[in-house]
Chain A
Amino acid sequence: MTEGNSVLAKAREIKIIGFLCNWCSYGGADTAGVCRFKQPTDLRIVRIPCTGRMDPLFAAKSLIYGIDGVLVSGCHPKDCHYAVGNLYARRRLEVLKHFLPFMGIDGRRFHYTWVSASEGQLWQKTVTEFSDRIHRLGPNPGLSRT
């Protein structure tokens, strides 16, 4: 995987942005790190307090300007640190997913999921699979520059 990255980097490095809630998924990513679960290096993580804080426009804007993939992850439904934040997020992000194609963006570049602070292995799997998917899709042309 890492080899593939450096080859691609010469052309144009794939960049994926991840919005992770502070309580579960950010912790899950930390757990994966502590356990040394190797992952592709394309992902850049932004820490947000809760997926409920996730404005769908953050994802839309990233994709419009040519970020290659957006991954959002929070606590499992019912386990939200703020009780219901992720339930709101689920509705908003599901709508966003269906809306992206209408904006001319490949919906597969966006993914949202739930990973708890103890699920390091699941995080590794999530990142690996999503990175693979984005690598297959190739660089995102974005909308603003076309």
Chain B
Amino acid sequence: MRIGVFVCQCGTNIAGTVDTEEVARRTLMLPDVVYATSYMYTCSEPGQKEIQQAISEHNLQGVVVAACSPRMHEPTFRRAVERAGLNRYMFEMANIREHVSWIGLDREANTRKACDLVEMAVAKLRYNQPLFSSKVPIHKKVLVIGGGVAGIQAALDCAEGGLDVLLVEKKTSIGGKMAQLDKTFPTVDCSSCILGPKMVDVSQKENITLLANSEVENISGYVGNFKVDVRKKATYVDWSACTGCGACIEKCPSRKVPDTFNEELGKARAINIPFPQAIPKKAAIRREYCLHFTKGKCGICKKICPVEAVNYEMEDEIITEDVGAIIVATGYDLFDHSVYGEYGGGRYPDVISGLQYERILSASGPYGGHIKRPSDGKEPRDIVFIACVGSRDASVDRPYCSGVCCMYIAKQAILTKDHVPESNSYVFYMDIRSPGKNYDEFVRRAQEEYGVQYIRGRVGKIYPRGDRMVVQGADTLLGVQVEVEADLVVLATGVESASGSRELAEKLRISYDQYGFYMESHPKLRPVETNTAGVYLAGVCQGPKDIPASVAQGSAAAAKVQALFARDTIETNPQVALVNERACISCGKCIQVCPYQAIQWKELRGGDRKAEVLPSVCQGCGLCNATCPCKAIQLLHATDNQILAEVNELFG
């Protein structure tokens, strides 16, 4: 085989601590290597041209690029060699940047290591064979998990492009956290007025199927051909009949149900529609509070319903659908501030979360949009906001910035002044993070026009004095301790990953970080893709972000799906397992271990049977290869010979 080796300097990223010239020189001494060079930026256009030129000039049959991680540029170089007429699998990469130059300072040792890695890549390449993809059809339907603003945007954009969309929402209405907000920063426009029409669109688009009160139970398959099971949880109300008239809610005698939509500031009924703009606007019974289910009596809702929609016998239903792509937009949960003993640990009714205050401000909230405090319904005069509650605090394992709190406090302080002009607002903050279009100007307006007092420092203690709360903290700019007596304390509670996010990630086979936020494929260049082809991310499930960023990511994910679905077929990955029938002893172990049921029996003439791989189902994990006792089944592009060639090279 005639092999060419290209050692990238990556500017000084590699050449700074690796002698790339030396690597190229030593590589040239290896058997089969007929050409080796070192180049400034191999991934650049002239760099790729140089590879292509060398392929034709030296009649190369295989190429090794020693550069960055193959997770970064393997596809780039594969395309480059393909354009020069080589098969894309006659290419190998040696990672001498992330695994060599960036992690060691000893130039000599680094150069030796780089030489070893190149040698290993060359050794593997000698066993490489051209591989060819086949094409399988795509199910042009997309599953969107989560009906918050990111999921809504993704679903609408996909539907707009003519795709069939299955939107699955855990709660009984879509809208997510944005539906709970009163106003949005920095424009102070009404949250439900801008979200509401989008929610209505979702219900009216013919190609969107909305499954509310449902959860994804199981996912199998691969890009283009996923199979999903969705559990449609029993609502005990036939939604095809329910008109959302609300007669049942009025008459329901179970009146002490915590109102989750209003962050438990008010009471709801056991049969309920969470808010007036809910989509779908259908009633659902909460079994744990319903007298029919808990006490075995009552049945008023069933009696009162004019369309006889109430059905106590309803059971969960599993719906199975084939989809070609999945957009995950599962959002976030609010940090539970009760872990902060110094803020009262949740004991004081007038120390509330940011989202609770949002409900208080909202005209559709528990107090009809009048600012009152939860303890006694009095209108507060002095209000203290505390920033970074559950953000940037390693002691509660939340060292990251939630990104939205600085802005929402500024908004809430402005709205407070609008509602109660004679009120005084104080904000205890660490730093103000307002990097967005018109964001910093907005915070300045809060400070300058609305007279919100910003105090730079942390709060050490909150305790009651009479019917007011004393907030004791530090002003680190003045270097003094301060004490503010307040009627209401609003904690700018941060963002944390949604409960159940890890379990869903395991079903989707995508990765998540230590805080439960989903990992994008590349933090800068592939921000909506995951490492599982066909699964995309939108919104806060990937990391804290505000509404504009969530909407943008929802649209971006939709665009990715549109691009994927623009073709009718998808090229399969040819790095799959292959059975050598002559060596196969028909033990069936590979069939047992395959996680995808991609291996089956093939009957031969004469009654023998041998294992057979379904290439379109095989995902290329290689579990069968390691299991096969006689190595009759080999994972192409990672065969035993290829891996052992790399290992053998090190014995040298």
Residues of chain A at the chain B interface (Cβ within 8 Å): 2-3, 5-6, 9, 13, 15, 17, 22-24, 26-27, 29-30, 32-34, 36-41, 43-50, 52-56, 58, 61-62, 65-67, 75, 78-85, 88, 92, 116-119, 124
A53 touches B531 (CB 8 A): no
Given contacts A50-B621, A79-B511, contact A26 B104 (CB under 8 A): no
Question: Which residue of the partner chain, among B102, B109, B509, B512, contacts A81 with CB atoms under 8 Å?
Answer: B509
A119–chain B nearest beta-carbon distance, Å: 8
- Provide the bound-state CA to CA distance between A31 and B505, in Å: 20
Q: Is B399 an interface residue (CB 8 A)?
A: no
Residues of A within 8 A of B509 (CB): 80-83
Residues of A within 8 A of B398 (CB): none
A117 touches B511 (CB 8 A): yes
Q: Is B625 an interface residue (CB 8 A)?
A: yes
Could you tell me which residues of chain B, from 613 to 652, have a CB within 8 Å of some CB in chain A?
619-623, 625-627, 635, 638, 640, 643-644, 646-648, 650-651
Residue in chain A with minimal CB distance to B507: A83
Residues of B within 8 A of A88 (CB): 593, 623, 626-627
- Provide the bound-state CA to CA distance between A39 and B647, in Å: 21
A17 touches B647 (CB 8 A): yes
A67 touches B650 (CB 8 A): yes
A48 touches B112 (CB 8 A): no
B621 touches A53 (CB 8 A): yes
A13 touches B626 (CB 8 A): no
B109 touches A62 (CB 8 A): no
Interface residues on B, range: 35 or more
- Provide the bound-state CA to CA distance between A57 and B125, in Å: 21
Q: Is B95 an interface residue (CB 8 A)?
A: yes
A58 touches B643 (CB 8 A): yes
B71 touches A5 (CB 8 A): no
A85 touches B623 (CB 8 A): yes
Question: Which residue of the partner chain, among A15, A33, A61, A83, contacts B69 with CB atoms under 8 Å?
Answer: A33
Extra inter-chain contacts (14) besides given A29-B98, A53-B622, CB under 8 Å = A9-B109, A17-B650, A32-B103, A38-B103, A43-B99, A53-B625, A55-B625, A61-B644, A65-B651, A67-B651, A83-B595, A88-B627, A117-B511, A119-B514
Residues of A within 8 A of B512 (CB): 79
B650 touches A15 (CB 8 A): yes
Q: Which residue among B71, B99, B110 has the maximum number of chain A CB atoms within 10 Å of its CB?
A: B99
Q: Annotate B568-583 by CB proximity to A: 1 below 8 A, 0 otherwise.
A: 0000000100000000
A116 touches B643 (CB 8 A): no
Residues of B within 8 A of A62 (CB): 647, 650
Given contacts A58-B643, A67-B650, A85-B595, contact A48 B622 (CB under 8 A): yes
B640 touches A55 (CB 8 A): yes
- Provide the bound-state CA to CA distance between A39 and B532, in Å: 29
Residues of chain B at the chain A interface (Cβ within 8 Å): 69-72, 95, 97-100, 102-106, 108-110, 112-113, 116-117, 120, 505-506, 509, 511-514, 519, 531-532, 575, 593, 595, 619-623, 625-627, 635, 638, 640, 643-644, 646-648, 650-651
A104–chain B nearest beta-carbon distance, Å: 18
A2 touches B98 (CB 8 A): no
Given contacts A46-B120, A54-B626, contact A33 B97 (CB under 8 A): yes
Residues of B within 8 A of A52 (CB): 621-623, 626
B71 touches A36 (CB 8 A): no
Given contacts A41-B104, A44-B650, A49-B620, contact A81 B112 (CB under 8 A): no
A92–chain B nearest beta-carbon distance, Å: 7
A9 touches B651 (CB 8 A): no
A80–chain B nearest beta-carbon distance, Å: 8
Residues of B within 8 A of A116 (CB): 511
- Provide the bound-state CA to CA distance between A44 and B119, in Å: 11
Residues of A within 8 A of B511 (CB): 23-24, 75, 79, 81, 116-118
Given contacts A2-B109, A34-B102, A53-B623, contact A118 B69 (CB under 8 A): no
Residues of A within 8 A of B513 (CB): 118
B506 touches A92 (CB 8 A): no
A60–chain B nearest beta-carbon distance, Å: 11
Question: Which residue of the partner chain, among B97, B104, B650, contacts A2 with CB atoms under 8 Å?
Answer: B104
- Provide the bound-state CA to CA distance between A7 and B267, in Å: 74
B643 touches A46 (CB 8 A): yes
A7–chain B nearest beta-carbon distance, Å: 11
Residues of B within 8 A of A80 (CB): 509
Residues of A within 8 A of B69 (CB): 26, 30, 33
- Provide the bound-state CA to CA distance between A27 and B643, in Å: 19
B626 touches A81 (CB 8 A): no
Question: Which residue of the partner chain, among A23, A39, A58, contacts B531 with CB atoms under 8 Å?
Answer: A23
B351–chain A nearest beta-carbon distance, Å: 34
Residues of A within 8 A of B97 (CB): 33
Residues of A within 8 A of B622 (CB): 48-50, 52-53, 85
B220–chain A nearest beta-carbon distance, Å: 9
Residue in chain B with minimal CB distance to A62: B647
A44 touches B116 (CB 8 A): yes
A-B contact pairs, 13 of them (CB 8 A): A9-B108, A22-B71, A26-B71, A27-B71, A36-B103, A39-B103, A41-B106, A46-B120, A50-B623, A52-B623, A75-B511, A85-B623, A88-B627
Residues of A within 8 A of B100 (CB): 41
A120–chain B nearest beta-carbon distance, Å: 10
Residues of B within 8 A of A55 (CB): 625-626, 640, 643
- Provide the bound-state CA to CA distance between A3 and B106, in Å: 8
Residues of B within 8 A of A119 (CB): 514
